[in-house]
Structure 1
């Protein structure tokens, strides 16, 4: 992920630009000026209202990069993989689950490995649009009191991440297994500085983002980079000093693990390989990443009673996700800040896996 620039958030307006008519008389100019003043005043009221509701400073903030999924197939070299901090995940199957179905109807994969409950084998739909995962419903309420932690204390932050990772396990394992999707706990490799994982350096030079690597189903992260920033990239600690922001980002990474287990990852990757244009691949990447954000939000909702995520903290998360995503001049692979906010709110407020089906959503919501 390229570093976030220090310049204020910029980019094209999502609304159609209004083109004023040519002037024909002084009266027309006066009327045009009057409407222009009203429009400016209206926009100003919206901005002021947003600032008051969010309770945050009004100066613009550059968007901060989101965590990412790094397909190891794209790497030409295979770096040595450090021993994860905590893992009980076997090596995943590296082959494709089959050709992606662009209509989202026909791609399937048999789950034959989970025999612990002696249940009949199920045929899983691993397509993007009609995946078996979408039948899983919402995450159950999970007791997950996180306590307090200083973001700038690496040991405390790491402790919170690992503690909440068990809460992620409780919720996701339950609903995945109910649908016949084999569940495995992901590995975690956390460091206070930086390191080198199975899919490359973490974080990459000048970046802050952790990544999920499907090769060994491990989440890699640098606690100091995430909080303090790196190079020209802002840190998450510059958006909020509450650890819920970073935990929600780790829940985004766990969302990539859910995509891996359900077959969404392989299907997305195979479809990306077949895409004939860079813009097409970026569009697929945005839908993939925004879906992980939606899954992460589902988790934050599931633990809201005990974590706790109070209404004020929920608004902090909404603000947080309005400030993360792609920025002008960088690859459009994670979605705009507005759409990251949109999909986080979707997952938090709806808490249903099918509500996170970005593959059926309009392009305007995944830009």
Structure 2
């Protein structure tokens, strides 16, 4: 589920260009060489009055938001609760690559309809993500990935890379019907999670988080910032699932398996969050259906372990 992506202070410096003011001149007229009886003429003094000093100011430079402000005060958090877009599960089953891909395509259309207005309200421009199912090793602008790992999102080319080997393999591994339901719910959650990274990318959160990880003072701080990003993507995933739970639907065995998987995740790399915290954020998204509940960046460290 990883996502990969590969300010100036205001100044106010008024300058003054005051006009100088001249002293009044007063000079008597000179007598002529042949004096006459007329009274001597005088020249009235002329006075140049000082004008008000002119000022020239440089307008302050408008500061953009800091990386922390982007992730913690994003307008996405005030975009409101998500309404259902009537999304339904594809009738295709992921027993084959074609069946899994049909599910991906269906989900991409649903998620795009659901998230587009929220990205726009946050000031972003919505783009439908590209989709690349893969088996074996796949090359991306974000690096080479193997199907021994999870699906991933690359912000450099707006692409969701879905692991066919995982989704088809999980579905076909066990014959029990409940295991097949679990595999379907896992695929749903994984795809919606990667789409959550796409939403982060379109709203500036992904890049700001990347910068903050780069500037982190320690490996532990970097990992915590990564967990905040990943737990938020899962929360966004379940905002969508919760909004469309009646039409998909998430009922009966589907709900049972969804509830099981959100609380039974593993985090071998210490970069996605432990099972308890994953469940906490997933439930917040599912129950509220509101991105405001997914602000992991203002949560305590204990909530993102």
Q: TM-score range by the shorter chain?
A: 0.7 to 0.9
Cross-structure match for 2:50: none
The C-alpha deviation readout for 1:93-137, integer Å capped at 9, x for no partner, is xxxxx69xxxxxx8539xxxxxxxxxxxxxxx9611111111111
Aligned partner (choices 40, 65, 68) of residue 108 of structure 1:
65
Following superposition, the deviation at residue 341 of structure 1 comes to 1.3
Contact kept? 1:294, 1:348, Cα under 8 Å: yes
Quick check: 2:238–2:285 contact (8 Å CA) kept in 1? yes
Match of 1:146 in 2: 89
| Cα distance in structure 2, aligned partners of 1:280 and 1:227 | 36
Correspondence for 1:362: 300
User: What is the alpha-carbon distance in structure 2 between the residues aligned to residue 275 and residue 179 of structure 1?
Assistant: 26
Deviation at 1:178, TM superposition (A): 2.9
Distance 1:159 1:202 in 2: 22
The answer to whether structure 1 residue 69 and structure 2 residue 12 are counterparts is no
* Cα deviations by residue, 1:208-258 (Å, 9 ceiling, x for unpaired): x111101111111221234427xxxx99x9994222321211110000011
Q: How far does residue 311 in structure 1 lie from its aligned partner after superposition?
A: 4.9
* Aligned: 1:203 with 2:146: yes
State the SS of the aligned residue for 2:70: coil
Q: Deviations over 1:160-201 (max 9, x none)?
A: 111111000001002222333211111111135442222222
2:249 to 286, 308, 315: 308
Q: Matches of residues 182-201 of structure 1 in structure 2 within 5 Å?
A: 182-201=125-144
Partner residue, 1:335: 273
Determine the structure 2 residue equivalent to 1:54: none
What is the CA distance between 1:313 and its match in structure 2?
2.0
Does the Cα contact within 8 Å between 1:335 and 1:366 map onto a contact in 2? yes
Contact kept in structure 1, 2:93 and 2:100, CA below 8 Å: yes
CA contact (8 A) 1:154 1:192 kept: no
Length-normalised TM-score, structure 1: 0.62
1:320 positional shift: 0.7
Structure 1 regions of 5+ residues with no counterpart?
A: 1-66, 73-97, 100-105, 110-124
Which whole-Å CA distance do the structure 1 matches of 2:193 and 2:157 have between them? 17
Say whether the 8 Å CA contact 2:79–2:121 is kept in structure 1: yes
Aligned equivalents of 1:282, 1:189: Cα separation in 2: 27
Compute the RMSD of aligned alpha carbons: 2.7
Q: Normalised by the size of structure 2, how large is the TM-score?
A: 0.74
Give the number of the structure whose alpha-carbon radius of gyration is greater: 2
Match of 2:207 in 1: 266
Aligned: 1:137 with 2:80: yes
Deviation at 1:71, TM superposition (A): 2.4
Q: Quick check: 1:324 aligned with 2:265?
A: yes
Q: Aligned pairs, how many?
A: 246
1:241 aligns with 2:153: no
- Segments of 5+ residues of structure 2 without an aligned counterpart are 9-62
